[in-house]
Copies of this chain bind each other. A is one copy, B any other.
């Protein structure tokens, strides 16, 4: 059904995962795929660079059409397969507006998680400062509080009464937060949302394989 699509992906990457969820929701199973290892540097391999010259995963193509940015891939799939599988853009103006607003507010959230998790990887040794580490943690705590507010009174889904692009895009970010030790107690609304959606078929089927055997590193435990 989706034999003209190819996805190169890495386990545990929210950007990769959301493309996988979108493909499932749009009934686009059967695409070509390959799991690559970030640890082994396979995201810089020739086969990735041929699709994604930035050397990042996901690297995704539909025929000759390249969609390496995960948001782009999700929006494209919904645009091209509107009437297939789950309708991922809601009908009402209020729901459409909230959906778009949330998916773009999720970008600072993901960025702040990354700034805490990857500080030592991003910042050369001689440029590291405890004050910066502390500031990044505080910024992530503030961001998580904003999301606790967004999720106050949230039903089964982030927007209205049905699963939408907001869930496709944002669920993997919360799952990533929790996987890396983020507190379910301090952010109960986030945790409740996470628990409601984690067994949805599209999500369960694409759960990062490296997350199945044993716990994460706990790096975010004091957030």
Contact = CB atoms under 8 A, between A and B. Distances in A.
Most chain B Cβ neighbours within 10 Å, of A76, A124, A131: A76
A196 B100 CA distance: 30
Number of copies: 2
A83 interface: no
Contact of A101 (B67, B79, B96, B127): B67
A105 B65 contact: no
A100 B66 contact: no
Contact of A100 (B67, B89, B93): B67
Interface in A65-102: 65-69, 71-73, 75-76, 79-80, 89, 93-94, 96-98, 100-101
A101 B54 CA distance: 13
A53 interface: yes
Nearest to A111: B111
Interface string A116-129: 00000000101101
Interface residues of A, number: 36
A68 B101 contact: yes
Contact of A96 (B71, B76, B131): B76
A132 B132 CA distance: 14
Contacts of A66: 97, 101
A103 interface: yes
A67 B104 CA distance: 10
A2 interface: no
A146 interface: yes
A63 B94 CA distance: 9
A64 interface: yes
A62 interface: yes
B129 A62 contact: no
B127 A129 contact: yes
Scoring A53, A79, A100 by chain B CB atoms within 10 A of each residue's CB, the highest score goes to: A100
Contact of A146 (B53, B67, B79): B53
Interface of A: 53-54, 62-69, 71-73, 75-76, 79-80, 89, 93-94, 96-98, 100-101, 103-105, 107, 124, 126-127, 129, 131-132, 146
